[in-house]
């Protein structure tokens, strides 16, 4: 893609230049964005985007997306990543400040990598589903757990899975028409992802992908792709962006049916209270805690 841009740059209009600059500077977004979203970000018309894609020699936006994805490096060596992070961490007195600044940069970038229409589509899918299966492996499993738990607490039916083999087959077997499938796959593409997508497609379940660099691996086979900002050069790990996205999705789903969400939390708190036969927490006021420990006064 970089070579093609260089070859035709002199032939492009001002709008076309803005489009190719977007492609070059934001390959992750270019690999999944629609023509409308690219046009919005580059401040041009949809027609200018399509015309520029053709001028670059691509048959269509699909081929350009694959080229944009090829500019990314989807496979990272964890050992190499740690080694690179350690070179940035020699001054431990500044480590917290450094990782906080990187995290702030990631947070600011999140609204730019997740288009509003994709976010709304994902939230709508979760809100309409009779049951949601959330799949995540390795570092993505806590994110999957957080999404499934959050959905259950706002009155939805959801299950998280990091299983493989027969156990995963059992969980895929619970998908039904009306279910939805969420894949949390930041960096790694495994066989289980492909099987889950094929089974959900066979049944007719909508599929949402949450990823950092694997959009091109699945974009043609899922309904909605949510791309979080790259963490390749940052100290924080990818789950930070994914967890922020999960929180936003849960709020959006709750807002779609506030009464259901509040009833879900009320039921959870009632049951927790019944289990512990009273208050859930230790009193934070020391004098209250001391009086409670002494028991009732004579």
With a cut of 80, say whether residue 289 has pLDDT above it: no
Listed residue (254, 263, 235) closest to 100, CA to CA: 235
Higher pLDDT, 160 or 105: 160
Q: Cβ-count burial of 49 within 10 angstroms (0-12 exposed, 13-18 middle, 19+ buried)?
A: buried
62 vs 87: CA distance, rounded Å:
38
156 vs 146: CA distance, rounded Å:
13
Which pLDDT value is given to residue 298? 44
Strands 207-211 and 158-161: unpaired
Contact 53, 61 (CB under 8 A): yes
Which pLDDT value is given to residue 236? 65
Higher pLDDT, 1 or 279: 1
With a cut of 60, say whether residue 196 has pLDDT above it: yes
Q: What is the mean pLDDT of residues 166-177?
A: 94
Phi, psi of 154 (to 5 degrees): -105, 25
Six token digits for residue 19: 């489009």
Which pLDDT value is given to residue 29? 81
Six token digits for residue 140: 């993505």
Q: What is the mean pLDDT of residues 49-76?
A: 81
pTM: 0.70
182 vs 156: CA distance, rounded Å:
14
């Amino acid at each position: 893609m970089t070579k093609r841009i260089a070859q035709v740059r002199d032939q492009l209009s001002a709008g076309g230049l803005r489009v190719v600059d977007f492609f070059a500077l934001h390959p992750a977004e270019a690999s999944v964005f629609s023509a409308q979203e690219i046009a919005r970000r580059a401040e041009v018309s949809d027609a200018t985007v399509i015309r520029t894609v053709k001028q670059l020699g691509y048959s269509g936006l699909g081929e350009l997306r694959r080229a944009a994805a090829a500019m990314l490096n989807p496979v990272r060596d964890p050992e190499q990543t740690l080694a690179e992070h350690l070179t940035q961490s020699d001054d431990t007195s500044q480590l917290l400040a450094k990782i906080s600044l990187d995290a702030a940069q990631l947070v600011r970038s999140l609204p730019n990598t997740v288009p509003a229409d994709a976010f709304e589509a994902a939230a709508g899918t979760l809100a309409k589903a009779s049951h949601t299966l959330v799949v995540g492996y390795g570092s993505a499993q806590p994110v999957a757990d957080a999404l499934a738990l959050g959905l259950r607490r706002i009155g939805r039916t959801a299950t998280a899975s990091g299983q493989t083999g027969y156990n995963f087959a059992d969980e895929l077997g619970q998908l039904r028409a009306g279910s939805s499938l969420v894949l949390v796959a930041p960096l790694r593409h495994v066989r289980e992802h492909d099987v889950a997508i094929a089974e959900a497609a066979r049944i007719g379940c909508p599929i949402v992908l949450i990823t950092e660099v694997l959009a091109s691996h699945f974009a043609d086979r899922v309904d909605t792709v949510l791309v979080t900002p790259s963490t390749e050069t940052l100290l924080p790990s990818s789950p930070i962006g994914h967890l922020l996205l999960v929180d936003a999705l849960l709020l959006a789903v709750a807002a779609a049916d506030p009464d259901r969400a509040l009833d879900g939390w009320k039921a959870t708190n009632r049951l927790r209270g019944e289990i512990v036969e009273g208050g859930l927490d230790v009193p934070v006021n020391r004098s209250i805690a001391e009086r409670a420990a002494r028991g009732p006064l004579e």
